[in-house]
Structures are given as structure tokens and as C-alpha cells.
């Protein structure tokens, strides 16, 4: 059994004294570090040429059916898949089968495939759903060493913990160098509201820099209150002392995963999505005394239902949260090792934070750490950490979304009203925490990642994080070479292999795209940062817009820089097989805005139908499947839409597909709970005396009469004008919610809110009746004949 050095992340922020730092750093830092070979002495495949085109998925499946016997080994740079010959062409299948069958196409599986293929091994990698469809597309998008993980290393002088953070910092540097188009540095602010915390956090961040050594990005620094508010204007100023800024990395996780897949393909790996392992095969191994060992598997194409057997020398289980499922195919009675934990993130509009700086809340109300980061033009906030069950597309719980909003509200200025309706998307990723089945205490969790090899030879790699995917893959292949007796051409080369798209990328490359193709600046930047030097191939597929500017690049949504050509490129060059593959993983539209995704779906499906030959029924199925997936991205469970509905409505479907339904009100852009919305609906209906679903002049006259005021048409018209911004002469329920929001958030009182009994002295949600003075003929009635000036809205 092989087990990686591993750790459990701490849940509290750094709180370390300078004395402890001095002792810890003196003792630990000068211990010997591993020596790595000069990458310049190693050989790897050169960058793909401008005419390089990956094999089709059909060609991949042909090689899987023949167990890789038509893949030719080379001395360097990875094997070369050749044409698969038919049996009637006179060539028999040989015995030189796949060295490795990797199950799982996420970060770890794709990274392992690249590492093994670049060493000359014959590799097949299959994914039951789509590449990056699980945890690898639902991360916090950080490339980090773990600034909050140093506490244990310092306080307990834990050298193993120290080495783990140091290793992650080294991997962070490699990550940013091998995928420069998909990753970048990001300054992160720790706001300080207590003076004594400032030196503690500053010392901790400087230690983080010190530990990174030559791999460090930029040095941490502190700033006063004025500078902190200048850098992060949305920050709450009351009590703010200043802030500490440190640097980590950020990336586009599923695009990174796709780039790993395509780089593995370039190096000769066979990669196939939507292919499931349904059984593992074993045969006696003479070298192990006849012991039964895994020698192959049964695969199933989930798009067609076709099944076949594949032979291999070893199987690697890299299925993350689903690891136990494959382990039980090997040994049905095996002990489960995955302890799944749900991490919920939400996406907010870009005005919630600056474009170039993130925020870390090191001490939330329950001790969890929360990040607040700019990403792809919006802001993401998360993550939670709570036990869950394993499922393909977990749905984020409302209480977790509300918890994140509450924590965000604590740090932002009162001018920024944190509203439930501002959540553009929400998703839950399953973090596969693992237990070591061979440990004496099987209840304790492995702190980072673990490699386990079963009696039958199933090698499982589980745990870890995005930042260290490459080191995990390298360690996994080393273990596989030893366990299965493989013969690679050399050591791992992935510490210097640039991923597809990164070879010729520069941060000003987008200017050439603008000049050559006539793209909008925002679109050109997006293409350069998502596809790197492959952006030229995407732009070449862009159709003319028909305008004088931009010349090319028709957007799928006016809110985001994704263009129609990306859907064609995804089908032709990146193995997108359904609409969800595209909106969730090839682009990030569903992670950024569920409403925009819903509105873009019909056009996406039309383009993919042209590329993949879908008929009408398949297009309708794609839409239904996509809507179902979007329910795991924040779309309400009650949403029921068909492609016909979208076409019939011309795209005008209301908020989140809930047009003219009660549920739509829950997603109004106001800070209301579901109970408050229910109460406001009841108030509205009591105010609507004629029950025509709108408040009109006659309803106001009736309300004034019921409440004992002098009622007149002139007074009613004056009151209505104060709140009828659309000048329609009536107030619908959505406008009523907006007025109530003004009362709740800004204390905007008017004669209308008084008549509706929305005045701020009454707690929102408290039940009240229209007309408490209807039968009042007492002496005090005359004093209530006029609405007070401060509530009149115009002195009526």
C-alpha cells in the first residue's frame, strides 16, 4: 500500500505570534528539500501545430474496443494512435494492450492520464459523465498553498504539515507556468477590525511568502483604513482598522480540466467521456502465485448503450466522491473510504466587489472560512462545509445559501443591500474527504490525499485539491509503475509541459484577435483567457454579425462574452456531447447566471444540433435535461419549461422560468424570506378590494375610507403618482414588492405605505388588518382625518 503525505485543513484563521514564527521558521525552514532534475534536460512533445486536430470521439471508442493494440509506442513524447484496422484487412489484434485504464475524467484522472502518456505508456481514460462534471468544476477556483493551514505546522512544530504547504506552494508556481492563459495571481484582502490582529495576520502572511521562497508571487503587505476602502470600496467602514493583502492564484477550473484532457490526447492518451465502467475482470497472475488480479473491464457508451470489454495491465480509480462505487465492483464487501462534504458557492453581480481583489473572512460566525472572489466578471462567495450524500448533481440547500449571504453582509457596507434575489447562480461541490482503510483508527480522515491498492490490484487515488493535482498524478503513476510492472520511458515531465493553449499565449494576445477578426474587446479577452493560442481556431468559426462593429462574434447572451462559435468549437474539438457539457464545462455560463443560461439554451441547442445531427425530439430532450441540471445550479425546483415554451414566449420567460407563478416572487430582487413574501401577498390581496390583482385609484379611495381619512379621487391620484413610476395608473404585485423593499431596506415611507400598513414601526411579517378605524365614530376620529405630512409623499 502507498499513502501520500497528507493533512486535514484547519478551520480557523491564522493567529500566530511573531515569537512562535521565529522559533518555527528557524527550526523547520532549513531542513533539506527534494532535488528536482533540470526540466531542460527532459524531452516532451512540442506544441500542437496550427492544423492539429484531436481524434474524434468515435476514433477514441475504436481504440477502446481494440484495447489499444493499434496504438504504437515511441521512444519519446508519448505513444501514437494509428488507424484501427478491420479484421478483414488481415491484421489480428496483438497483446500489447493498454498499460493503464483510468476511471474518472476530473482533475486527478486527466492529470494522471497526461503524466502516464507523456512517459510513453499506453493510457485510456473514461468518464461516466463529462470531463470535470463533478467536483473539478465546482471548486472555489483558487490555486493556493493553504495560508490558513499553517497554524498546525507552527503551533505544533508539525514538519509534515509544513512540507505539505511548501509542496502546494511549489505546485502553485508550476500550475501558473504550465497554464498561463487559465490561471493568474490574485491579491486577497483580510480586513482587520481589531488592532491587535494586524501584526498577527501580517506576520502569518509574511511567513507564507517566506515558505514559498523562490516560488513566491508578490509579497504580502498591510494597509490602513483609507487604503483598504480605496482598494475595496464595498467594505464596511465602521470599526475598520486596516487590512493585510497576500497573493494566491486563481483559475478557470473546468477549462483547466478540458485543457488537461486535450494535452493528454496530444500525447497519445485515449480519452472518452460518457463511457461507464460496469464490471471489472480478473484472471490468475502467475507472478503472484495464481492470485486473481484485475486484467480489464466492461465499458458502456452511455450515449448509445453499446457495451464491450477492454484489456489492460492495471486500473486506476480516480473517481473522487464516487471512489467507493468502483471499489465495490472490485470487492463488494470492502470498507467505504469516502466521507463526502458539501461545499456550496454562490455567484453575485460584479458590483459586490472590485474586479481585481478578493476577500477572505478568516473567522465566520461558526468558525468556517469564507472567500469572496472576483471571477469571470462576477463575484463568487463560499464555501460551506457540511456532511452530505454522494450524488451526481447535488442541489445547494437554501440554508447554506442564506448562511453565505449573512456572512457576506457582515463585511460589506450598509449601502450594499445583500439580497437573495442577487444570487445569480448557486452550486454544491462534493469534497471527497477520505479514510485510510488500512489505518488502525479507520474513523480518522486522511489530511490530504491517499493512494490505496486492493488485493485485486485496483489502485485508488482519492482526496487532495486542485492545486496539487499534478503532484498527485505523478505519485499515482509512480505507484502504478511499481505495482503493475510497467516500463515508462522516464520520470514525470508534467512540471514543465505546457498545456494546450498555453504555448504562444501572451496577456496582450487578445489585441491581435481584435485586429484580425473584428471582435469586441471583452469577447477577445475572454477567448484569449479561455482558449489561449487556440482562440484563433475559435474565432475562425465565428460568423459575421452583420454590423459595422463588431464584425464577428455573435453573443449567446448580451450579458456575457460567450459567442456562438464556441459551441461549434466545443463539438468539433473538445468532445462536447450535450448542451450541459457546453453551458457548464466548455463555457461557464451556468455557473455565472442561471437566467442567462436558460435564455441562451434554445440557440445553443440549435447550433449543437447542426454539429451533431440531432433531430427535433433530441433537441427537446436536451432542453429538458439542461433545465433539470440547472436545478443544481440555483434554478428553482418548481421550474417546468419545455423548448416549445421558450420558442412560444420568444425568450420572455420571467425570472428563472417562473413567469406568473407564486414562486417567482421568492426570487424578486429584494431581501425577503419566503414567509415575508407570503405575508406581503396576503397584505396585497387585502389592499386589492376589487380583487383584480392590482392596486388602483379606487382601491386607495376605499382604503382611505376604511381607515377613517377624508377620501377623494384627487388625493388617491396624488398618492398613486408617488409610487407609480411606470405611470400605468396601477400597482401590480411586483411593484408592491419593490415598495415594500424600500420600506424594509431604506425606510422609505409614503402615504401609500401607510395605507398598506407597511410603515417601519410594524415589523415586516407582522399580521395587520386594513381598516382598523372603519367603525370608529369616537371623538378622536376627526384628528385622523388627514394623513400626516411626513407620510403623505407630497404633502397631500
- Residues with Cβ within 8 Å of 282's Cβ and at least 6 positions away in sequence, in order, are 292, 293, 294, 295, 456
How confident is the model over 115-166, as pLDDT tens digits? 999 999 999 999 999 999 999 999 999 999 877 677 666 766 767 677 788 8
- 353 within 8 A of 185, measured Cβ to Cβ: no
DSSP one-letter string for 457-481: -EEEEEE--GGGHHHHHHHHHHHHH
pLDDT at 47: 73
* In the predicted structure, residue 13 carries a pLDDT above the cut 50: no
pLDDT at 153: 66
Of 222 and 92, which is predicted with more confidence?
A: 222
CA dihedral 580, 582, 585, 590 (to 10 degrees): -60
Of 783 and 746, which is predicted with more confidence?
A: 746
pLDDT at 652: 62
Rounded to 10 deg, the angle between the 159-178 and 197-212 helix axes is 70
| Residue 127, CA atoms < 13 Å, CB-side half-sphere | 29
- 265 within 8 A of 271, measured Cβ to Cβ: yes
* In the predicted structure, residue 42 carries a pLDDT above the cut 80: no
> What domains lie within the chain, and their CATH numbers?
59-76+97-137+255-331+447-484 (3.50.50.60), 182-251+341-433 (3.30.9.10), 508-659 (1.10.8.870), 671-752 (1.10.238.10)
| Residue 735, CA atoms < 13 Å, CB-side half-sphere | 19
The rounded percent of the chain whose pLDDT value lies above 90 is 57
pLDDT at 665: 52
DSSP one-letter string for 20-45: HHHHHHHHHTTS-------GGGS--P
Kindly indicate the confidence band of residue 92, based on its pLDDT and cuts at 50, 70 and 90.
low
How confident is the model over 630-641, as pLDDT tens digits? 999 999 888 888
- 790 within 8 A of 717, measured Cβ to Cβ: no
Question: CA 213 from chain center: how many Å?
Answer: 30
Average pLDDT over residues 688-714: 86
> Across the chain, what does the average pLDDT equal?
84
Report residue 181 as a C-alpha cell: 492563459
- Going from the C-alpha of 477 to that of each of 39, 484, 494, 519, the distances in angstroms are 18, 10, 12, 43
Of 525 and 363, which is predicted with more confidence?
A: 525
* In the predicted structure, residue 302 carries a pLDDT above the cut 80: yes
d(CA 422, CA 416): 11
d(CA 278, CA 126): 12
d(CA 459, CA 479): 8
How confident is the model over 325-371, as pLDDT tens digits? 999 999 999 999 988 888 999 999 999 999 999 999 877 777 778 89
Residue 460: which of 294, 272, 289, 281 has the closest Cα? 294
Residue 262: which of 590, 572, 587 has the closest Cα? 572
* In the predicted structure, residue 681 carries a pLDDT above the cut 90: no
Amino acid at each position: 500500500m502507498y499513502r501520500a503525505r497528507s493533512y486535514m485543513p484547519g478551520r480557523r484563521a491564522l493567529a500566530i505570534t511573531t515569537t512562535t514564527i521565529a522559533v518555527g521558521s528557524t527550526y523547520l525552514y532549513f531542513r533539506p528539500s527534494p532535488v528536482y532534475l533540470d526540466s531542460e534536460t527532459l524531452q516532451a512533445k512540442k506544441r500542437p501545430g496550427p492544423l492539429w486536430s484531436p481524434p474524434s470521439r468515435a476514433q477514441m471508442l475504436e481504440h477502446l474496443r481494440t484495447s489499444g493494440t493499434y496504438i504504437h509506442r515511441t521512444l519519446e513524447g508519448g505513444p501514437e494512435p494509428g488507424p484501427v484496422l478491420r479484421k478483414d484487412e488481415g491484421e489480428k489484434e496483438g497483446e500489447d494492450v493498454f498499460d493503464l485504464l483510468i476511471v474518472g475524467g476530473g482533475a486527478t484522472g486527466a492529470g494522471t492520464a497526461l503524466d502516464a502518456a507523456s512517459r510513453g505508456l499506453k493510457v485510456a481514460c473514461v468518464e461516466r459523465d463529462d470531463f470535470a462534471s463533478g467536483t473539478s468544476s465546482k471548486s472555489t477556483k483558487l490555486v493556493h498553498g493553504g495560508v490558513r493551514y499553517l497554524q498546525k505546522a507552527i503551533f505544533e512544530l508539525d514538519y509534515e504539515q509544513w512540507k505539505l504547504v511548501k509542496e502546494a506552494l511549489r505546485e502553485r508556481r508550476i500550475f501558473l507556468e504550465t497554464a498561463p492563459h487559465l490561471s493568474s495571481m490574485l491579491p486577497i484582502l483580510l480586513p482587520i477590525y481589531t488592532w491587535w490582529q494586524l501584526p498577527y495576520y501580517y506576520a502569518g502572511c509574511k511567513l507564507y511568502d517566506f515558505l514559498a521562497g523562490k516560488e513566491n508571487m508578490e509579497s504580502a503587505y498591510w494597509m490602513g483604513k483609507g487604503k483598504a476602502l480605496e482598494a475595496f470600496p464595498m467594505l464596511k467602514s465602521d470599526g475598520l482598522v486596516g487590512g493585510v493583502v497576500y497573493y494566491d492564484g486563481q483559475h478557470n477550473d473546468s477549462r483547466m480540466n478540458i485543457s488537461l484532457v486535450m494535452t493528454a490526447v496530444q500525447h497519445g492518451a485515449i480519452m472518452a467521456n460518457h463511457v461507464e465502467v460496469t464490471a471489472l475482470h480478473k484472471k490468475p497472475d502467475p507472478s503472484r502465485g495464481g492470485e486473481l488480479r484485475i486484467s480489464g473491464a466492461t465499458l458502456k457508451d452511455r450515449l448509445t448503450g453499446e457495451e464491450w470489454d477492454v484489456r489492460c495491465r492495471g486500473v486506476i480509480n480516480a473517481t473522487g466522491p464516487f471512489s467507493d462505487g468502483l471499489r465495490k465492483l472490485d470487492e463488494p464487501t470492502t470498507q467505504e473510504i469516502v466521507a463526502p462534504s458539501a461545499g456550496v458557492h454562490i455567484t453575485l453581480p460584479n458590483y459586490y466587489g472590485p474586479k481585481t481583489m478578493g476577500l477572505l473572512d478568516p473567522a465566520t460566525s461558526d468558525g468556517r472560512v469564507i472567500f469572496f472572489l472576483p471571477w469571470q466578471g462576477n463575484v463568487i462567495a463560499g464555501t460551506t462545509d457540511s456532511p452530505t450524500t454522494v450524488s451526481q448533481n447535488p442541489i445547494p440547500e437554501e440554508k447554506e445559501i442564506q448562511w453565505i449571504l449573512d456572512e457576506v453582509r457582515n463585511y460589506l457596507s450598509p449601502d450594499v443591500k445583500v439580497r437573495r434575489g442577487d444570487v445569480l447562480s448557486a452550486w454544491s461541490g462534493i469534497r471527497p474527504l477520505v479514510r485510510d482503510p488500512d489505518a488502525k483508527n479507520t474513523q480518522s480522515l486522511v489530511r490530504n490525499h491517499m493512494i490505496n491498492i486492493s488485493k485485486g490490484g485496483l489502485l485508488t487515488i482519492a482526496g487532495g485539491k486542485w492545486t496539487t493535482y499534478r503532484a498527485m498524478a505523478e505519485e499515482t503513476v509512480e505507484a502504478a509503475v511499481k505495482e503493475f510492472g510497467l516500463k515508462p520511458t522516464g520520470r514525470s515531465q508534467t512540471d514543465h509541459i505546457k498545456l494546450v493553449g498555453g504555448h504562444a499565449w501572451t496577456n496582450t494576445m487578445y489585441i491581435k484577435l481584435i485586429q484580425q477578426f473584428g471582435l469586441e474587446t471583452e469577447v477577445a479577452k475572454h477567448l484569449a483567457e479561455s482558449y489561449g493560442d487556440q482562440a484563433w481556431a475559435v474565432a475562425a468559426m465565428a460568423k459575421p454579425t452583420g454590423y459595422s462593429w463588431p464584425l464577428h462574434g455573435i453573443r449567446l447572451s448580451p450579458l456575457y462574452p460567450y459567442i456562438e462559435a464556441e459551441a461549434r468549437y466545443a463539438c468539433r474539438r473538445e468532445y462536447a456531447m450535450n448542451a450541459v457539457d457546453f453551458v457548464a464545462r466548455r463555457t461557464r455560463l451556468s455557473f455565472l447566471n442561471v437566467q442567462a443560461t436558460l435564455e441562451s439554451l434554445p440557440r445553443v441547442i440549435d447550433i449543437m444540433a447542426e454539429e451533431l445531427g440531432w433531430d427535433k425530439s433530441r433537441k427537446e430532450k436536451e432542453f429538458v435535461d439542461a433545465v433539470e441540471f440547472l436545478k443544481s445550479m440555483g434554478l428553482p425546483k418548481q421550474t417546468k419549461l419545455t423548448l416549445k415554451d421558450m420558442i412560444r414566449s420568444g425568450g420572455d420567460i420571467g425570472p428563472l422560468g417562473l413567469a406568473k407563478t407564486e414562486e417567482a416572487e421568492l426570487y424578486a430582487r429584494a431581501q425577503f424570506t419566503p414567509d415575508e413574501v407570503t405575508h406581503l401577498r396576503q397584505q396585497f390581496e387585502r389592499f386589492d378590494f376589487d380583487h383584480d390583482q392590482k392596486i388602483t385609484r379606487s382601491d386607495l379611495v376605499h382604503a382611505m375610507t376604511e381607515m377613517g381619512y377624508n377620501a377623494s379621487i384627487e388625493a388617491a391620484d396624488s398618492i398613486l403618482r408617488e409610487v407609480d413610476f411606470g405611470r400605468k395608473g396601477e400597482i401590480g404585485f411586483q411593484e408592491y414588492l419593490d415598495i415594500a423593499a424600500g420600506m424594509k431596506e431604506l425606510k422609505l415611507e409614503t402615504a401609500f405605505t401607510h395605507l398598506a400598513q407597511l410603515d417601519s414601526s410594524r415589523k415586516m411579517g407582522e399580521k395587520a388588518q386594513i381598516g382598523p378605524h372603519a367603525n370608529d365614530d369616537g371623538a378622536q376620529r376627526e384628528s385622523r382625518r388627514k394623513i400626516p405630512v411626513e407620510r403623505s409623499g407630497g404633502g397631500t
